[in-house]
Amino acid sequence: MNNKLIIVRLDSKYCDYLREFDNKVPYNYSKKELRPFVGVLFKINKCMYFAPLSSPKPKHLKMKSTIDFLKIDNGKLGAINFNNMLPVKKKNIIILDLNKNPLNKSEEKYLNLLKNQLYWLNRNSERLYKKSKKLYDKYLNNTLKENVAKRCCNFKLLEDKCNKYNQ
């Protein structure tokens, strides 16, 4: 994987496995064919991480970006939830083809949103890397505010479980 960010979907069985150890692991709504559980893939230290993307919502325009939440284009394109980032290996992800021919107008609109999110994220990748690393380090060092720490997945535990799952 190069430094360019990509958008992926997670294998639902892998998410179900991680949820056995951490109830903060988000649900992978694989039944929603149009709106799969998608996120951006990047590295923290030597581990690949998936951070879920959120579609734009009116509340995003009013919310502030925080240590565990980044608005994409001031919320106009949604947000990234770093508190729910998950360690992954290549076999746990499905790379989305954003250039496929859409089946209908709804899918076309969604693919365009993902393309716009990815374009913005790649233009702001340094910000994404710094924010994710800072959250990760503060979580591991136990220096996060309690309310933020409670929202976060247990990164180290899930890294261990990721390695076991993928052996």
Predicted TM-score of the model (pTM): 0.89
Question: Residue 29 — very low, low, confident or very high, per pLDDT cuts 50/70/90?
Answer: low
Residue 158: Cβ-neighbour burial (10 angstroms; 0-12, 13-18, 19+): buried
pLDDT confidence band for 38 (50 / 70 / 90): confident
Percent of the chain residues topping a pLDDT of 90: 75
In this prediction, residue 142 carries a pLDDT of 96
What are the structural domains, with CATH classification, of the chain?
6-165 (3.10.129.130)
Report the pLDDT averaged over residues 86-95: 94
CA distances from 11 to 68, 78, 119, 165 (A): 23, 22, 24, 12
User: With 50 as the cut, is the pLDDT of residue 157 above it?
Assistant: yes
Residue 36's pLDDT is 53
Residue 160 phi, psi dihedral angles, 5° rounding: -60, -45
Q: How confident is the model over 126-150, as pLDDT tens digits?
A: 999 999 999 999 999 999 999 999 9
pLDDT at residue number 33: 42
Q: What is the mean pLDDT of the chain?
A: 90
Per-residue pLDDT tens over the stretch 56-77: 999 988 999 999 999 999 999 9
Q: Looking at residue 165, what is its pLDDT? A: 97
